[in-house]
Amino acid sequence: MTDDLGPLRQAMSDLSEHGGAADLYERTLRRSRQSQRRTALATAAAATVVVFAIGGTVAAATRDRPDPPTQPGSTRTGDGPQNPTCPTTQTLGTLVELPAGWSFAPREVECVQTWAAADVQRPNAGVVIYLFHYTPGTGWRFQDQGNGWDCKEIGLTETASFCTS
């Protein structure tokens, strides 16, 4: 038995002359881009998992934490009605800068409703009163200095020693 492969070989030779080379470059680029997309998606997914893991840990850790302590207000020790948020002279000293030689008098701060008054001693000039006002959310703030105020003008319904009427 003899195989006559001559015509087959001739046909294959003709095809190889006209077929050209196989183009593997485009397929390589397509696979590379596909691999880059997969890597980017995997990285984004991993970053998302890490963010949610950290956020969940923080949320779980702070869920059972007690509220931060609030600063206790000092109680009124002077004459007049009691005000639980009445500041001390030390607290008021942080709100204003007294001129050189001036100091808060040793007398207690007088608080009436949302107002506080403290005597300030001046060298060779006597005593002047510093008036402070309390506003929820902002706290105590310096209002004015003088010798007395009209209670009705500042909105007080109670009498106070720092009021002139």
The pLDDT of residue 66 is 64
Distance from CA of residue 159 to its chain's centroid? 41
Q: Which stretches of the chain drop beneath a pLDDT of 70?
A: 1-2, 19-22, 64-84
Q: Tell me the pLDDT tens digit for each residue of 15-35.
A: 777 766 667 788 888 899 999
Would you call 7 exposed, middle or buried from its count of C-beta atoms within 10 A (0-12, 13-18, 19+)?
A: exposed
